[in-house]
Chain A
Amino acid sequence: MNSTADLDIMTARELTRIVLAKEKLFILDVRNESDFSDWKIEGESIDIINIPYFNLLDGVDEALEQIPEGTQLLVVCAKEGSSKFVAEQIAEAGRTNVHYLEGGMKAWSEHLEPVKIGELHHGGALYQFVRIGKGCLSYMVVSSGEAAVIDTLRMTDVFEQFAKEHGAQIKHTLDTHLHADHISGGRTLAVRTGATYWLPPKDADEVTFDYEKLEEGHDISVGTTTIRIQPIYSPGHTIGSTSFIIDDQYLLTGDILFIESIGRPDLAGKAEDWVEDLRNTLYNRYQVLSPDLIVLPAHFGKVTELGDDGRVMAKLADLYHNNPGLNIKQEDEFRRVITENLPPQPNAYQEIRQTNMGKITPSVEEQRDMEMGPNRCAVHDK
């Protein structure tokens, strides 16, 4: 190994910063073509090409020809090994500013970036956790030494650590619905911290564990100054889907309403039945809420939905103007658009649902593999 070769490690955190700052980066993804076409790193200032590492075993000339000189280069693979193997050769060929992604796409899929959404009326704040590689969003309400986590992701240590740094004890974990694209960390986090785990009862028919029922009219308090979490029954993505109004300012919509699209009604196998519920929630139930509420969804589908510092948020009134899913006048047209624009289902979504019901308990490694790929919870995403 030529030790003078200019090769550096880039972490998922550093890559996140580059994506959010819209810094220029050229990525060579060396996974096989099918994995690449299924799911890749995206960013507005990112140029990306795919050449599988197994096409570069005899040399990297094919890659060198396509990589512009002088641009920061990141080589990426599934776990790390192959990207390092290729990046070393590129650096040895004399290229500079060459990096490989530490932990590969697995690490990218698991990285969570906490961003502050805003202050709460009686002290405390609401934070969003952006799982940038997969497009999942979690939330933490922190108030007077207590915390509640909504749509907790599998990487529960991130939430524990964050709460600790903010001097808060996690009292509640809530899931807006039974997730099909990722494994919920809500129950694990509740067990680890002694918190109460809340689920919508209509999504929990088959669960194998104890939980508290999320029901309209039963508000949940966080902190001594009482930050109110008000559940709003909002079926459509699943039959139990429940939204939350937090501190009369924020509307957490789960997988019902996103910034540029709307939720899909078919992941529990009931597209035909639930498309009506979905319409009713979007066009009636949300209509009567304050238009000034800030919508905070459980996913984003495209990097263009990431706002300042990576925050994903928008005023409900603005979404009624701009979101195509909220602007389909006729009911039959809505039904047609929804059922005809369903993207492929998320990777292993049946197994993920089973896991979230407690019916199967895969190993951490298996859970990682099940979650690989994009979230695909919205209607309009490809």
Chain B
Amino acid sequence: MLPEIRANVTLDCKGLACPMPIVRTKKAIDQLKAGHVIEVQATDKGSLADMQGWAKNTGHHYLGTVEEGNLLKHYIRKSKLSETKEEKQHPYTICHEELATKMTGEGKITLIDVREPAEYAFNRIKGAISIPLGELEDRIKELNPDDEIFVICRTGSRSDLACQLLTEKGFKKVKNVETGMTGWTGPTEQDNSK
């Protein structure tokens, strides 16, 4: 026998299909006190992996799931504000002026453009290397962890994620280009149109 799991709140999502179990859970957890536990009853099998993924991404604590026939009981503990993942920001950034100065300077610099290939093709800073955010992890070997690396995208948010990933992988001198390509007034290039 499994020990009885005590929840502060029970949420009935039986019969609901994806995305509703998570939508309802999110709403319910917003009302919950930090540290309290919610039991979510669902019959959608897909809710298991999604509940785990959602909790992981929001920082709430996924405790586990009990299966009773077709019924899944998910248990999640609402985390304290300090525990939930904030929009994490990479602390080191560089503004356009600084970047422009670096580019005209003596030393070799590495500028990674993490936008999609089509965005890169139409408008990019000369010398920028294209590694779309989705490919960064696979292509990380192309980069030297000891180099000073600048990362750019359209607005600065994808590049922020890229900077976090690089830092996580042991890159030491990574800087996010503030506001990305938006507002860049320096020289750009594009693929020759056919």
Contact = CB atoms under 8 A, between A and B. Distances in A.
Given A54-B50, A57-B23, A81 B17 contact: yes
A66 B23 CA distance: 23
30 contacts: A32-B50, A32-B52, A33-B53, A34-B49, A35-B49, A47-B116, A49-B134, A50-B134, A52-B50, A52-B57, A54-B22, A54-B50, A54-B57, A55-B54, A57-B22, A57-B23, A65-B154, A68-B116, A68-B118, A68-B119, A77-B18, A77-B19, A78-B18, A79-B17, A79-B18, A79-B46, A81-B17, A81-B20, A82-B19, A85-B23
Given A65-B154, A77-B18, 11 more contacts: A32-B52, A47-B116, A54-B53, A55-B54, A55-B57, A65-B157, A71-B118, A79-B18, A81-B18, A85-B19, A85-B23
B22 A65 contact: no
Interface in B137-161: 154-155, 157-158
Contacts of A50: 134
Interface in A33-48: 33-35, 47
A369 B49 CA distance: 14
A205 B79 CA distance: 55
Contact of A66 (B19, B26, B54, B116): B116
Contacts of B20: 81
A79 B44 CA distance: 11
Interface in A73-126: 77-79, 81-82, 85
B172 interface: no
A57 B57 CA distance: 12
Interface in A313-363: none
Contacts of B134: 49-50
A159 interface: no
Q: Which of A34, A78, A369 has the most CB of B within 10 A?
A: A78
A53 interface: yes
By Cβ-Cβ distance, the 6 closest A-B pairs, closest first, are A54-B54, A32-B53, A82-B19, A81-B17, A81-B18, A54-B22
Interface string B155-179: 1011000000000000000000000
Contacts of A33: 53
Nearest to B115: A66
Contacts of A55: 54, 57
Contacts of A66: 116, 133, 158
Contacts of B133: 66
Contacts of A62: 157
Interface residues of B, number: 24
A66 to B, nearest CB: 7
Interface of B is mostly: helix
Contacts, number: 61
Nearest to B49: A32
Contacts of A78: 18, 46
Contacts of A65: 154-155, 157-158
Nearest to B57: A55
Nearest to A61: B157
Q: Which of B23, B45, B53, B154 has the most CB of A within 10 A?
A: B53
A52 B18 contact: no
A79 B53 CA distance: 17
B53 A52 contact: yes
B17 A53 contact: no
A52 B157 contact: no
Nearest to A86: B19
B54 A369 contact: no
Contacts of A77: 18-19
Contacts of B23: 57, 85
A82 B19 CA distance: 5
Contact of A53 (B22, B52, B118, B157): B22
A53 B20 CA distance: 11
Q: Which of A53, A62, A71 has the most CB of B within 10 A?
A: A53
A79 B23 CA distance: 16
Contacts of A57: 19, 22-23, 26
A184 to B, nearest CB: 24
